[in-house]
C-alpha cells in the first residue's frame, strides 16, 4: 500500500511511474515527449518523396474539426529566442521541408539547413537503419522550393510532421535504433550542475529550467512554469534560477510529463472558478472515473449519475468498499490558476479515496433540502457560489466566483467550515431580490449545520417542514410565509405582496415589522371563506405558540433560520393537499426558482 504523499511533485512523480508501468498509456520516457503531429511525409526507401507525399493523420472530432495526433517523439525541449534549434525526426514544415506559412523563405531555408545538418551528423550514431538512411538521403536531395508544389500544401504549411517509409509499419522516429541513438546523444551532451534532487534524494544533473506546463485555463498558451525563479530577489545563497530549489532533470521531466498528461485529459480535469483542477491516484481507482461528474454540474450521463449516487450513499453508510475496490488508495486534488509567467497552486488536497468520499458525502448531506427537482443539477460549487454573488457585470461576478471557489472547494474536500462570505452573500441577495429558492435554502442550512458541528454545538436544521421546531427565528419565517399566502389568497392577482416591502426587514429586525403584519393579516383573513379561513387561523395560532416575542434584532445565523422556515412553509403551501377542510381540487403550482 503506497503512502499518501504530502507534496505535489512527489505525488505527480508517483503518477508518472503508474503510467510508465502501463504500456497502454504510452507515456513518454525521459528524453521524449508527447507532441501534436498533423501530417506524415511518406518516403521511398531511396529517399524520394512519394505521391502525394503529405498524408493528413489528424482525426475529426464530433464537430468535424481536425484534431492532431498525439505521438511520443524525441523531446525538442522547446525553443526560445531567434536561434535555430531543429527537433530530431520531427518538426514543423519550416525545419523539415524548408517552407512554412510565414513569408520568410530565406529563414525557412536556414531552418532546413540546421535540420539537415543535425540528421546527417547523427547517421553514424544511428547505424544500420534503413528508415533513417532513407530520411538522410531525402534531406540531402530535397529542394525547399518544391514544398509549395506538394498536394494540400496550403493546409499543411507550418504544421508539425513526422516521417515514414512507404509500406512499412510505424514511423522512422519509432525505430529502436533511432531511439537508442537519441538516448546516447542525451547521455553524452554537456552536463549542467549536478547535485541532490530535493524530490528523490538521488544525485543527478539539476534542472536549470523546468519544462513548461500547458493546458491551464488563462495561462500563457506557450506554457508556464510551476517552479521558477526569475528575479534576483528570489535568489538564496547565490543560487540562481531553479538551482535555488534543486530538482534533478529526470524528476523535473517526470512531474511535468505527468501533470501535462492530466491537464490534457478531460476525464481528469475540471474547471472551478479561475482554477483548473486535476485529480488522480497513484493506482487505478474507480473514483477517478467519476470524480469529475461529482463536482461538475454539467454532467448529464444517467448511468454515471447513478454510479455517483451509489458511491456517495456507500460513503455515508460506511460501506465504501462495496462501491470501490480500494478505498485506502491515495487520492490527490490539485487546483492551479494562472499568474503571468508562472502557475499558482490555488489548493493542494492530498488524502485517500475514502477520506474524500466521506467528506463529499457529508457535504451532500449538509446540503440536503426539500424542494429539489429530479432534473436539477447537483449542488457542488459554481451554482452555490452564484447564489451569493451580487448582481453585476459578468466579468465582475466571475472574478468574485474565482476568489471564493478555491476556499469553497477546500472546505468541501477537507471538511472545514464553508467561507462565511457565502452565507453572508446569500443573506444580502435575499434582502435585495426577496427570492428564496432551493439552492439558497440548501446552502444556508449547510453553513449553519457545519459551523455548529465544528464548534461542538447541537443545531438541528430540518430538511423539510418541522412544525414543532423550537427555534423562534425558524417559526417567524413560517409566520411570514403564512401571512404572505393569506394575502395572496385574499387578493388574487396581486402584483406585489408583503414580501416586496417587508421581507428583508422582518428577517433582520422582526419587532419593527411583525406588529404591522399581524394587523394586515387580520384584514386579509377576513376575506377568506369557509375552511380556508379556519385552516389559516389554526396555522397561525400553531406557529405563534412557538414564539414568545419578536426580538429587536436577529443575528446572521438566526436570519438564515428565518429564511429556511419561510422556505419550508412555502414548500408546504405549494404541495398538493387533499383534506376534509380544503377543496379536493386545491392544487397549487410548484414554487418557482430563479435561475442564476
Report pLDDT for 591. Answer: 38
Percent of the residues in the chain that have a pLDDT greater than 90, as a whole number: 49
3-state SS, residue 15: helix
The gap from C-alpha 125 to its chain's centroid, in whole angstroms, comes to 46
Confidence at 475, pLDDT banded by 50, 70, 90: very high
Instruction: Evaluate if residue 217 carries a pLDDT over 90.
Output: no
Report pLDDT for 102. Answer: 87
411 CB contacts (<8 Å, ≥6 apart)? 417, 418, 419
261 CB contacts (<8 Å, ≥6 apart)? 19, 27, 34
- Plot region of 192 (φ>0 → left; ψ -120 to 50 → alpha; else → beta): beta
Mean pLDDT of 24-33: 90
Mean pLDDT of 577-590: 40
Contact of 504 with 541, CB cutoff 8 Å: no
Mean pLDDT of 205-223: 81
Q: Buried (b) or exposed (e) across 466-494, using 16+ Cβ within 10 A?
A: beebebbbbbbbbbbbbbbbbbbbbeeee
Report pLDDT for 589. Answer: 36
The gap from C-alpha 382 to its chain's centroid, in whole angstroms, comes to 11
What kind and span of H or E run contains 378?
A: none
Confidence at 200, pLDDT banded by 50, 70, 90: confident
Report pLDDT for 576. Answer: 47
Least confident among 36-45, 202-211, 244-253, 319-328: 319-328
Contact of 91 with 33, CB cutoff 8 Å: no
Task: Please tell me the pTM assigned to this model.
Answer: 0.78
Mean pLDDT of 207-214: 84
Instruction: Evaluate if residue 482 carries a pLDDT over 70.
Output: yes
Instruction: Evaluate if residue 320 carries a pLDDT over 90.
Output: no
Q: Which three cell numbers stand for residue 548?
A: 414568545
| Residue 223 neighbours by CB distance under 10 Å | 17
Report pLDDT for 190. Answer: 62
475 CB contacts (<8 Å, ≥6 apart)? 469, 543, 546, 547, 565
Instruction: In whole angstroms, give the CA distance from residue 283 to residue 309.
Output: 23
Least confident among 2-6, 132-136, 251-255: 2-6
Report pLDDT for 579. Answer: 41
**Phi, psi at 354, each rounded to 5°:** -65, -45
- Could you please report the per-residue DSSP string of 415-484? --PPPHHHHHHHHHHHHHH----HHHHHHHHHHHHHHHHHTT------SS--TT---HHHHHHHHHHHHH
Find the angle CA(22)-CA(186)-CA(132) to the nearest 5 degrees.
80
Report pLDDT for 586. Answer: 37
Beta-strand pair 160-165/342-352 = unpaired
Beta-strand pair 160-165/39-43 = parallel
Contact of 379 with 367, CB cutoff 8 Å: yes
The gap from C-alpha 419 to its chain's centroid, in whole angstroms, comes to 19
Instruction: In whole angstroms, give the CA distance from residue 267 to residue 275.
Output: 16
Per-residue model confidence as pLDDT tens digits over 147-199: 999 999 999 999 999 999 998 999 999 999 999 999 999 887 767 788 888 88
Instruction: Evaluate if residue 16 carries a pLDDT over 90.
Output: yes
User: In 323-419, which residue ranges form alpha helices assigned H by DSSP?
Assistant: 353-367, 382-386, 394-414
**Phi, psi at 261, each rounded to 5°:** -65, -45
The 3-class SS string of 70-130 reads: EEEEECCCCCCCCCCCCCCCEEEHHHHCCCCCCCCHHHHHHHHHHHHHHHHHCHHHHCCCH
3-state helix, strand, coil in the chain (%, to 5): 45, 15, 40
Percent of the residues in the chain that have a pLDDT greater than 70, as a whole number: 86
Per-residue model confidence as pLDDT tens digits over 483-519: 999 999 999 888 899 999 999 999 999 999 999 999 9
Per-residue model confidence as pLDDT tens digits over 230-266: 666 666 666 666 677 888 889 999 999 999 999 988 8
167 CB contacts (<8 Å, ≥6 apart)? none
Mean pLDDT of the chain: 85
Per-residue model confidence as pLDDT tens digits over 37-56: 999 999 999 999 998 889 99
- Counting every residue written for the chain, the total comes to 596
Instruction: Evaluate if residue 541 carries a pLDDT over 50.
Output: yes
Report pLDDT for 395. Answer: 63
Mean pLDDT of 120-130: 92
Per-residue model confidence as pLDDT tens digits over 272-286: 777 889 999 888 877
Report pLDDT for 64. Answer: 85
The 3-class SS string of 518-557 reads: HHHHHHHHCCCCHHHHHHHHHHHHHHHCCCCCCCCCCCHH
Contact of 565 with 469, CB cutoff 8 Å: yes
Nearest alpha-carbon partner for 417 in 452, 388, 367, 385: 452
Nearest alpha-carbon partner for 269 in 315, 207, 325, 213: 213
Contact of 362 with 415, CB cutoff 8 Å: yes
Confidence at 66, pLDDT banded by 50, 70, 90: very high
Instruction: In whole angstroms, give the CA distance from residue 157 to residue 147.
Output: 9
438-454 and 353-367 helices, crossing angle to 10°: 120
Instruction: Evaluate if residue 269 carries a pLDDT over 60.
Output: yes
Counting beta carbons within 10 angstroms of the beta carbon of residue 523, is it exposed (0 to 12), middle (13 to 18) or buried (19 or more)? exposed
Q: Buried (b) or exposed (e) across 252-287, using 16+ Cβ within 10 A?
A: bbbbbbbbbbbbeeeebbbbbbbbbbbbbbbbebbb
Amino acid at each position: 500500500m503506497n503512502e499518501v504523499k504530502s507534496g505535489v511533485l512527489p505525488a505527480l512523480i508517483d503518477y508518472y511511474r503508474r503510467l510508465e508501468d502501463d504500456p497502454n498509456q504510452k507515456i513518454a520516457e525521459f528524453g521524449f515527449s508527447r507532441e501534436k503531429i498533423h501530417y506524415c511525409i511518406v518516403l521511398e526507401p531511396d529517399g524520394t518523396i512519394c505521391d502525394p507525399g503529405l498524408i493528413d493523420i489528424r482525426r475529426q472530432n464530433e464537430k468535424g474539426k481536425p484534431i492532431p495526433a498525439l505521438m511520443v517523439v524525441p523531446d525538442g525541449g522547446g525553443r526560445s529566442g531567434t536561434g535555430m534549434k531543429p527537433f530530431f525526426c520531427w518538426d514543423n514544415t519550416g525545419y523539415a521541408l524548408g517552407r512554412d506559412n510565414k513569408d520568410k523563405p530565406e529563414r525557412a531555408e536556414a531552418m532546413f539547413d540546421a535540420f539537415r545538418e543535425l540528421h546527417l551528423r547523427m547517421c553514424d550514431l544511428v547505424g544500420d537503419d534503413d528508415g533513417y538512411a532513407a530520411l538522410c538521403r531525402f534531406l540531402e536531395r530535397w529542394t525547399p522550393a518544391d514544398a509549395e508544389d506538394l498536394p494540400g500544401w496550403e493546409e499543411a504549411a507550418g504544421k508539425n510532421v513526422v516521417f515514414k517509409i512507404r509500406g512499412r509499419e510505424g514511423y522512422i522516429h519509432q525505430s529502436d535504433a533511432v531511439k537508442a541513438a537519441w538516448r546516447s546523444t542525451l547521455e553524452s551532451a554537456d552536463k549542467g550542475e549536478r547535485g541532490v534532487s530535493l524530490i528523490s534524494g538521488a544525485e543527478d544533473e539539476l534542472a536549470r529550467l523546468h519544462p513548461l506546463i500547458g493546458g491551464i485555463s488563462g495561462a500563457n498558451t506557450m506554457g508556464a512554469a510551476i517552479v521558477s525563479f526569475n528575479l534576483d530577489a528570489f535568489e538564496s545563497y547565490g543560487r540562481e534560477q531553479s538551482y535555488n530549489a534543486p530538482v534533478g532533470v529526470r524528476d523535473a521531466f517526470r512531474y511535468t510529463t505527468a501533470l501535462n498528461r492530466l491537464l490534457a485529459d478531460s476525464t481528469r480535469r475540471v474547471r472551478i472558478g479561475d482554477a483548473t483542477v486535476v485529480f488522480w491516484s497513484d493506482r487505478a481507482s474507480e473514483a477517478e472515473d467519476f470524480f469529475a461528474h461529482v463536482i461538475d454540474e454539467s454532467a448529464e450521463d444517467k448511468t454515471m449519475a447513478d454510479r455517483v449516487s451509489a458511491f456517495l450513499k456507500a460513503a455515508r453508510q460506511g460501506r465504501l468498499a462495496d462501491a470501490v475496490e480500494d478505498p485506502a488508495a491515495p487520492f490527490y486534488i490539485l487546483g492551479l490558476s494562472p499568474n503571468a509567467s508562472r502557475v499558482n497552486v490555488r489548493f493542494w488536497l492530498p488524502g485517500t479515496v475514502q477520506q474524500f468520499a466521506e467528506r463529499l458525502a457529508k457535504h451532500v448531506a449538509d446540503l440536503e433540502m426539500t424542494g429539489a427537482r429530479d432534473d436539477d443539477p447537483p449542488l457542488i460549487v459554481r451554482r452555490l457560489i452564484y447564489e451569493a454573488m451580487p448582481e453585476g457585470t459578468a466579468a465582475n461576478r466571475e472574478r468574485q466566483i474565482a476568489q471564493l471557489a478555491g476556499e469553497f472547494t477546500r472546505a468541501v474536500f477537507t471538511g472545514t467550515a464553508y467561507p462565511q462570505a457565502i452565507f453572508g452573500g446569500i443573506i444580502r441577495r435575499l434582502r435585495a431580490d426577496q427570492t428564496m429558492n432551493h439552492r439558497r435554502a440548501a446552502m444556508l442550512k449547510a453553513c449553519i449545520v457545519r459551523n455548529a458541528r465544528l464548534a461542538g454545538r447541537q443545531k438541528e436544521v430540518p430538511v423539510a417542514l418541522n412544525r414543532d421546531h423550537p427555534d423562534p427565528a425558524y417559526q417567524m419565517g413560517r409566520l411570514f410565509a403564512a401571512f404572505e399566502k393569506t394575502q395572496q389568497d385574499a387578493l388574487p392577482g396581486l402584483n406585489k405582496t408583503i414580501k416586496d416591502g417587508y421581507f428583508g426587514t422582518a428577517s433582520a429586525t422582526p419587532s419593527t415589522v411583525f406588529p404591522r403584519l399581524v394587523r394586515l393579516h387580520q384584514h386579509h383573513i377576513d376575506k377568506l371563506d369557509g375552511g380556508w379561513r379556519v385552516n389559516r387561523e389554526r396555522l397561525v395560532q400553531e406557529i405563534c405558540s412557538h414564539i414568545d416575542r419578536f426580538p429587536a434584532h436577529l443575528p446572521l445565523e438566526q436570519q438564515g433560520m428565518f429564511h429556511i422556515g419561510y422556505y419550508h412553509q412555502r414548500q408546504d403551501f405549494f404541495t398538493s393537499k387533499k383534506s376534509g377542510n380544503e377543496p379536493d381540487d386545491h392544487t397549487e403550482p410548484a414554487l418557482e426558482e430563479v435561475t442564476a
